[in-house]
Each structure stands twice: as C-alpha cells, then as structure tokens.
Structure 1
Amino acid sequence: MVLGCFWPGGGRGGPRGASERDAASRPLLDTIQHVKDSRHIVVYHRGRYFKVWLYHDGRLLKPREIEQQMQRILDDPSEPQAGEEKLAALTAGDRVPWAKARQTYFSRGKNKQSLDAVEKAAFFVTMDDTEQGYSKKDPLTSMDSYAKSLLHGKCYDRWFDKTFTFIVFKNGKMGLNAEHSWADAPIVGHLWEYVMATDCFQLGYTEDGHCKGDTNPNIPYPTRLQWEIPEECQDVIEESLSLASTLANDVDFHSFPFDAFGKELIKKSRTSPDAFVQLALQLAHYKKTRGQRPLFPLLV
C-alpha cells in the first residue's frame, strides 16, 4: 500500500491499528505516511528524546561512530522535561485522545518540530534501563519477561506508531517492536536476520567489545528534542498510560526455547513454515478436544 487509511472498527469486527510511516493520528482516521528519505533516528533514553543524524560529510556513519553517538547519549546527565518521560504513552492508548492531543498541543512550535523529528525518523530506538534475555538459571520466567518487555515495555518507552522500535537493553540484549498494519511479522523477521548476520559475519567487534573502526570527534552531538507539555496534556498522557498498562497487565505471554528440531526438518518435509505450524496447532487442539476449530493464520 503506497497511501491509505484505516478507520477504527473497520476490520474483522474490531479496531484497526495505526501504521507508521508514520501514523498521523486524527479523530476516527489514521493515515499512512511514507517518508521519502530519512537521514536520522530518534533515541529514547532515561525519559529523554534525542535526534541522531546518521550521515556526516555526505556519508553514512560507520558502526564505531554510531557507537560514539550512543555513548554520548548515555553520558548526558540532563533530566527529562515536564511531561517528556511518558509522552509515548499517547501512542499506546486510545487513538481519539491522542488525535485530539496532537491537534491541540503538537500542531505548532517546538512540539510540532520535535514530533516531526520522531515521525520522520528512519526508526525509533529505545535504550532500555532494564536487563532482559534468556537465563539458564531461570529459562522460563526470563523468556516471558523478555517477550513482554519487547511487546509493550513500560507502555511509555516504545513509540508504537513507528514502523518499528529497536530496543537495546542494559545488558546488551536486543529486540524489535514492530507495528503490524504495514506488514506481517516475516518482513521484520527477514530484516532482523539480515542485520544480525551482517553484524556477526561482516562487521564484528574488537577484543574489548567496541565496534571496529575509529571515533570521529567532528561529528555533532545528538540533539535533545525540546517539548512544552502543559499539565492538561500531561493528564491525557497519564490517562493513556493507565489504559495501556491495564491492557498490558492482562497479557499472558509464555515463551520458551524449543530445540527438538528446527527449520531443516520443515524443509525436508517440503512444507511451508506457516502450514507446518498450522498443522501442529490443529493436531494439538484435536488431541486435546477431539475437535477442530479455525485458527488465525498469524498465530504462527
């Protein structure tokens, strides 16, 4: 879809999600916007928003230079502005309050400039202050926590209107939160596989854990986005956060490692991965209930 819109309540008997590139929120209508050329990202760290340019002297930053920019953000001692820390909760709650807040508080001045920076960024990055990932000491609970954090985090530290939020945890574990209406999960999965393979087999790291290459002191520092969020808007943010947190706390997400077999077995069976998992789900359901039920394909 090059250009389109979604009406809440217009699909499969329930609300339709908003998509980035970007989701321009309006009452009763979300529109998809395609940004022609994004040359920056926006990074969220400790309640603050930073704009980070990805190009310098006409070229894309190298991995070590990107690491340098991230370290500059980590070293920044400044505190969040009023209303800034939980701002992204607006994208997690009901769409209409976000649309009205957008029109009232983010349609002019520095708030519009900062919102434009977020929405026109290539993607959104969260430098999360928690530690997540698989733990051999606690293989089940650790995976559940990891999955739920990637799914919704604190409900205010992911920008849910973006195509995806790239999440880096304090202990170096990573993941993505992808907005669904623009693509199915395999699209983002292929992107992530390509990134991980490139990182592992082409780029690499030094013995002390830094990206290979040199820093560049001539690259400008990341820029703090500036906001003026009045108390009335902060009330809307808190209401959106309350709604989103209630929904997030109602999610029962269980994730676990599966090493009985992998994709090679599926390839040998000459069956598509979707069909294979669908058959497994149907078989499990039949064994338990001796009946069959239609299942949503995207369960895979």
Structure 2
Amino acid sequence: MSRLKDAFMTIEEKYHSLKVQFVQTLPKLLAFNQWNNKLLADTEEECGFVKGYCHIIFPGGIREIVDFFENWQDQNMLDLLSQQETPIKIRDKIDLALRIRIKNCIANPTNITPNSQTSLREATLVATKQSKKATINGLLRRLTPPRNDASLLELNTNQVSYINSKLVHLRNRSYFTTPSNSIFATKIAFRTCDLIWRYAGDKSIDYNYYTKRGLLLSVYITSILYYIQDESENNVDTDQYITKSLSNIITMTSKCKNMLKLPNPVDIPIIRLFS
C-alpha cells in the first residue's frame, strides 16, 4: 500500500514529505547542537538518509532548512489552534496563539512515551549529559547529575519537553542574532506574526497591516527570550508576560491614537476667521 501511494506522489510531494521527516527529527538533535553541518549529518543518519541527501532536498543549505523548520512550526501552531476553542476577543486569540507558538510547537521533542518511566529516565540522562555546556540559568541546574534514581524522575514528561523546547529556542537565537542573518530572522518572525494576526481575523491591507505586525513582532521576540529564562512551574510566568505585553501594546497604541488625532479645522480660531 505504501509503495502504491509513493508511486502516485509527485516529485514535489515526495520531497516535501522528506523535508517534513527531516525537520520532525531536528528538535531532539538541535537541542544539544548548533546550526551546522554536524547537525545536518546527524539528522540525516537519524532519518536513514544517505550522507549529503539533505542538500538535495534543501539545495539552499542551512538557511533553507531553518526557513522550512520555522514554517513547519507555524503550521503546527495553526493545527493546534484549530483543536482549541476559539476565543471571542482578538486580544485573547493573539495571546493563545503566542503561547502555543512559543511553548508547544515542537512536537514530541524527546520522543518520550508518557507512561514509560524508563523512557523518561533515559531522556533525562541524555539531557543531563549533553547540556553541560548550555547556558540557561536555573533550568539546566536541574539537569545536573542526580544523586539517585528517584531524582531522575523529578522531571515529568512535560518538563523534559519544555527543556528541549527552550534549548531549541536558544540555538535559534544564536543563529538569528548573527549579523548576516538579521534580515532573514526578521522576515521569519514577521511571517509568524502575520499568521497570528490572520488567525485573529485581521484583514487590514493599509498601513495598519505593518504597524500591527511590527508591534506584535516585539512581543513575540521578547516573549521567546523570557520563556528561555523562565523557571516557573509550567512556565506560567511566560503566559503572564505575554498577556501583560499585549496589554501594554494596546495601551500604548490607544495613547498614540489620541496624540495623533488632529482637531477639526472649524475648531481652530485662525481658520474659523477665514471660513
């Protein structure tokens, strides 16, 4: 059946399927690597590809892979949002979308079986061994070698997933903050903000299109940075930060509108004299 299905796939569909397989494998390796050729080689091996095959399906190299990886996460966000009850208010829609995009879009980053203590123990040991050089403050202090097996199980499945999610964000930050990638990074983040606004129902095509996305861009980027450092239970501080940041943006926008509101010409004495 699989062979029959493959026979009817176009080259583009086959390549797209292979690209998705590649980026689905990336997170658990990227968490403890950098964006470099070693990461690509390790991912190829994990996927069962021949050496150098990723350069066939991604001829643009690492930048094209990053682009596809971020777009894949955007689509995950939309899929997850479709499974949620849609909030009524636009602000709440954006709030929900940001939380999901930042915290929940890397699907199964550690391939942990939820009810398997053995899988959790192995995943935690791997994280402990490979994250010694990482620089996330209190987060990675929890991954230092434990004194006994009971300590290994202190991190539940969600916590290990969050840890890998944060490490992936950290690797992306290192890549995007390289000066040569600054414009590319802005383009990628702007695309995500555009999708969030579209999910919220925005259909603006005038200057508001850019101002809305520009303001959301600042919230999106700073929220990722906050999330990386967040040590709160279930990262509730990140949720509060997102909500507060959106509220501040709305307040600031309202004040700007009042400041830029021009008076009616007939209310200006000197003009009224000539009318």
Specify the TM-score bucket, using the shorter chain as the normaliser.
under 0.3
TM-score (norm 1): 0.23
TM-score (norm 2): 0.25
Q: Going by fraction, where is helix more abundant, 1 or 2?
A: 2
Rg (Cα) greater in structure: 2
